[in-house]
Amino acid sequence: MRAYAETLPNVVVADRNLFTCSQDTQEKIKEYIREYDLNRVVVASCTPRTHEPLFRETLREGALNKYTFEMCNIRDQCSWVHRDDPEKATENEKGDRLGGQAFNLYATYKGDKIKPYVENLVENVNDHPLIHVYLNTTVTDASGFVGSFASTLTDDNGEKKELEHGAIIMATGGRPYKPKEYLYGKDPNVLLSLELDQKIMKGSDRIRDARSAVFIQCVGSRIPERPYCSKVCCTHSIHRALTLKSLHPDMQIYILYRDIRTFGDREVLYAEARDKGVLFIRYDLENKPRVEKENGRLKVTVTDHVLQRPLEISADIICLATGILPSDNIPLTKLYKVSATEEGFFLEAHMKLRPVDFATDGIFLAGLCHYPKPIEESIAQAKAASARAAAILMKNTIEIEPIVSVVNPEICRGCGTCERVCPFGAIHVIEVDGVKKAQNTPASCKGCGLCAASCPSKAVDMCHFSQHQIRAQICALA
C-alpha cells in the first residue's frame, strides 16, 4: 500500500508504521507536516470511530486544519472482512431512597464497612443546597442535546415536573438474579449473597446458630442465557466465608465453584480461606449441585471433579452467589438515544478511549448499570463521570463537530424518512409556512449519514462527506 501511495500524483511522502496511533508516530506526522509543508494527510489503518479524533488533534497541533485529514478504514472494511483470505484483503431507575445496592453490602474485600460510608454520603447529598433529590420518580419524556437537555419526571401520584439540565449521568444500578432452583424461596436457610450480608449485619440467630455452610457459585451466570461473569461473586463468597469463620472458627464451610476468579490482590483472600479450612469443590455446568431437604435439614449433593464421585454435604445455611442483572434500562435508551448491550447493560462509546461516555454527547454512565463490578470500581467510575459532566457545565458555550447533516429545504418533501431512521433524534419534520420540511439539530447530530443515505429526494447531505466528495472517491478507484 505504501509503494502504491508513493506513485499517486501530489503525494510527497508515504510511510508505514506498526502502530500509527502511538505517540512517536504522532510526532512524526507533525514533523512531516512542517518538513514537506503538507496540506492534506491520509491515514490507512483502523476505524475512524475511535482514532480519527486523535489524528485530527495531531494535525491541529501541527498547524494544519484538522478537517484536511482523511482516514481509510482498512482494518474493519478490508482485513476483518477477509480475515480468512489475506490476499483478497490486500486487494482493492426509580426508588424510595438513595444508595442502591450498596446499602445491602456488609463490607469490601479489604474489610471496610460500606453502610456507614453510604449513609454519610446520602446525608451530604440531601443536605446540599444545590442538589435536588426526586424519589419514587420516573423519567417519562426527554429531549434536547448536550448543554440543553429537558427531562420530564413523573412521580407515583402522576404529577409531572420538567427539568432543564446540561448533562446526564446514568446510574440506574443493577439487581441480583432470583433463581427458581436450589430451594430458594422455599427454605429460609437458602439465601442470596446480599441476604447473607443483611443477616450478618443484623446479627441474625440463623447465622449465630449455624455450624455448616455451603456457597454455590455461578448461579444464573456463565450460562447460555447470561454468558457473562458477574466479577464480584467469587471474592464476595470467599470474604463472607472468612467472616463466618471469624464468628465460628470450627464451622464447616464449602464453596462449590466452576472457576475461582479472585483477581489481583484478592487472591490473598483465597489463600487465607484455604489456610483456615474452607473447602473448595469444583463442579461443571453439566453436573450442577443438587439441593434437597432430608429429615428437616438441607443436603447438597455435588460430583467431585477429581474423585468423579458424588459428595453429600449437610448444611445449616446455603448461600447462592447469583449473577447481577441490569435494571430495566430499555425505556431510558429510547428516551435519550443511548445504546445497550444484548443483556441490557448500558454500552459506553469506547471501552478505552471514552469509558464513561455514551455515543450521545453530554450523557455519561457509572456503576452496575454499565456492567457488574466491585464497589471501588463503581466509585472510580462515578468520579470519572462526574468530572466529565462538570467539564460541560463549567463552559459558557460548547464546540460541536462540523460533520453534521444539512437539509436543502428547496427540494425537501417532508416525507419524514430522515426522522424515522435517525438513531440520535437529531432531525425532525416541522411545518414552515404550511409546508412540512426536515430540520436538523447540529448539536445532536453525530454525522452517521443515515438520513442522507435514506432521503429519497437527496435533500439531506453531509458536511465533509458530501455526495460529490464521495463520488470523487469512487471515481478515483474506478
List the domain boundaries for the chain. 2-89, 134-173+327-393, 176-325, 405-477
3-state DSSP assignment of residue 165: strand
As a dihedral over the C-alpha atoms of residue 22, residue 24, residue 29, residue 31, rounded to 10 degrees, the angle is 170
Q: List beta partners, residue 317.
A: 213
Give the torsion through C-alpha atoms of 279, 280, 281, 283, to 10 deg: 160
User: With a cut of 70, which residues of the chain have pLDDT below it?
Assistant: 81-93
∠ CA 96-379-146, nearest 5°, is 80
* Closest among 108, 109, 110 to 118, alpha carbons compared: 108
Contacts of 444 (CB under 8 A, 6+ apart): 144, 145, 146, 360, 424, 425, 426
What pTM was computed for the model? 0.75
Q: Give φ, ψ of 214 to 5 degrees.
A: -125, 130
Phi/psi of residue 394, each to 5°?
-80, -5
Does domain 176-325 correspond to CATH entry 3.50.50.60?
Answer: yes
Say what the pLDDT of residue 464 is.
Answer: 87
C-alpha cell at position 25: 508516530
The beta strand positions in 185-274, using DSSP E, are 190-192, 212-219, 252-257
- The number of angstroms, rounded, from the C-alpha of 35 to the middle of its chain's C-alpha atoms is 43
Nearest residue to 274 via CA among 320, 241, 225:
241
- Stretch (H or E) spanning 304: strand 297-304
Beta strand 168-170 pairing with 363-365 = parallel
| Buried b / exposed e along 65-76 (16+ C-beta atoms within 10 A) | ebeebbbebbee
> What is the reported pLDDT for 235?
94
Cβ atoms of 339 and 346 closer than 8 Å: yes
Which pLDDT value is given to residue 83?
64
- DSSP calls for 74-114: HIIIIITTTTT-HHHHT-----SSSSGGGGG--B-TT--BS
Topology classification of domain 405-477: Alpha-Beta Plaits (3.30.70)
313, 290 in Cβ contact below 8 A?
no
Q: What pLDDT was estimated at residue 85?
A: 61
> Rounded CA gap, 193 and 221, in Å?
14
**CATH class in words for 134-173+327-393:** alpha beta
| pLDDT for 47 | 78
CA distance 10 to 42: 12
- Could you check whether 134-173+327-393 and 405-477 share the same CATH topology? no
* Spatial contact of 207 and 247, defined as CB atoms under 8 Å apart: yes
> What pLDDT shows up at residue 84?
64
The gap from C-alpha 183 to its chain's centroid, in whole angstroms, comes to 33
What is the rounded CA–CA span in Å between residue 52 and residue 276?
Answer: 54
